[in-house]
Amino acid sequence: MRIILASRSPRRRELLLQMGIGPFDILVPDTPEVAPPGLSPAELVICLSVEKAKAAAELAEPGALLIASDTMVELDGKLLGKPRDEAEAFSMLRRLAGRVHTVYTGLALYRDGLLRTACEHTDVRFRTLTDGEIRAYIATGEPMDKAGAYGIQGRGSVLVEAIYGDFFTVMGLPVCRLGQMLPEFGVYPLSEPT
């Protein structure tokens, strides 16, 4: 069976490989991410994950398994996606500094009309940051393609004081939950069934 990751994220690619999933292909259709208003953060990341999976499935051959994911950061009831520019990245990081926020990552697995979804969330506490530290981090370029303007697996790790939940959810792919979902689609990350 062909496995397709519907994501450009190098972190998601690395995590699938780390799980022993492969070979797999990357297929990311150029479709806007649009969700109905009024969704909770969990509902939103699931909705966007489903959109990505179904859009990629339209371009794939029948029988392919599509894996899609979406991540958002929530603070004070507001969602923080990827920053549009350095000024927005600075604003996000300033708001996150010294506080706890929640990272939501949705999953969608789709093959031939069978759809399974899930969402995991993890609380992350940032240490207090100076404006100079925030600017120096932004200058690395790392924040610009990440929800909440930081990458916990990279240089952004020095911003994080504690996490409460699944580390991989913060990276953008909840591997434990994914590993529990894949056997329904005939994929066994640890071993084949006996």
| Alpha-carbon separation of residue 116 from 8, 68, 69, 76, 141 (angstroms) | 21, 11, 12, 29, 34
Separation CA 167–CA 190 (nearest Å) = 20
Determine which one of 25, 30, 70, 85 is catalytic. Answer: 70
Residue 70 annotated among the catalytic residues of the structure: yes
Q: Which residues contact 157 (CB under 8 A, 6 or more apart)?
A: 151
Q: Which residues contact 47 (CB under 8 A, 6 or more apart)?
A: 35, 36, 39, 106
| Residue 78, burial from CB neighbour count under 10 angstroms (0-12, 13-18, 19+) | exposed
Q: Which residues does the annotation mark as catalytic?
A: 70
